[in-house]
Amino acid sequence: MGVEIKLTDKEFPVSPVLIDFLHRHIEGKPHEVTWHDQLSEELVPALSEERQKAAVAVAEQVVQHPLGQKAVYRAYEVFTALLTGLPEKLRFFHERYRFVCIVGCPRHGGSYLTKQLFLALGINPDEVPNAIAHDGFPDAAPFEFKEGYNSLTTMMQNMAEYLAMVEVFYANSRLHDNFVVVPKKATKAAYHGAFFNTALGPNAEYVITLRHPLAACISTYEKSTGLPEDGKFKVRGNIEEWARRDIVFTGADPRKVLEDDYFDVYLRYWEQYHYNLALTGLGANRNWTAVGYGREPMMQLA
């Protein structure tokens, strides 16, 4: 019995993130570098439609350029490997790059540590694009399935595009112990640790950032304009949306989340995040280190 299954870029279109990255790289334009701004918080959907339109406007220009075409094809090649199980296609990345992933609950110092790692490598953090440095891409989360969206295949395609971008961005980077060292804030790796282990390879290192949950909770609401006057949980930024989503995923009544005490919601999210961190597969990689929150320990580690 022969069954032919055809999937095209209609089912799996190139992401606006990859198009924007390639367009700016090809044109020599400055990249978006807001990843180490830790003073404000906003919901990503507020900008997603605008970014989608911008990507559509330059997509043809990108895929007609030799570098853009090569990177897009590379992303689809790696995506196919992840989707169908072709480990050999990942070997190049595993042998050339040593990924140093900063993994920890939000507001645990991950962005600061990531910035210090770039500085230690002699790379100006203000020249590192959001998609290369920060945790918004690849996207990983508890499973979600809806019209036109499967969170698992999206995660795989995002990872493939990230690896294609790494190949472009670090094309002329110097080696450290025969590897190109690639720092990456990877908060979302906690949700699918085994996948990140597989995609980034056995030489990847994981740095787990730790902070007292109450301090992290206070830091979260301060970044989102302060504790709501009634003390109830409120979604104003991405971290609060992740907290809402995650506790609903583990059984909280979605109709009552916004009636619950802010600290109760955050602490349940914090607890669940660390269960994910411990149990989804990152522990299978022995190359990990834990570091406490604070400038001094993070500077020493970097």
Q: What is the mean pLDDT of residues 224-232?
A: 95
Whether the link from the prior residue into 138 is cis, omega within 30° of 0, is yes
pLDDT by residue (tens digit) across 34-66?
Answer: 877 655 555 555 567 777 788 778 888 998 999
C-alpha 38, offset from chain centre: 16
Residue 138 has pLDDT above 90, yes or no: yes
Cα separation, 152 vs 57, in Å, equals: 28
Could you tell me the pLDDT band of residue 1, with boundaries at 50, 70 and 90? low
Q: What is the pLDDT of residue 43?
A: 59
Contact 192, 282 (CB under 8 A): no
- What's the distance, Cα to Cα, between the start and end of the chain in Å? 56
pLDDT by residue (tens digit) across 186-218?
Answer: 999 999 999 999 999 999 999 999 999 999 999
Q: What is the pLDDT of residue 18?
A: 96
pTM, entire model: 0.93
Contact 163, 72 (CB under 8 A): no
Q: What is the pLDDT of residue 170?
A: 97
Cα separation, 9 vs 96, in Å, equals: 28
Could you tell me the pLDDT band of residue 4, with boundaries at 50, 70 and 90? confident
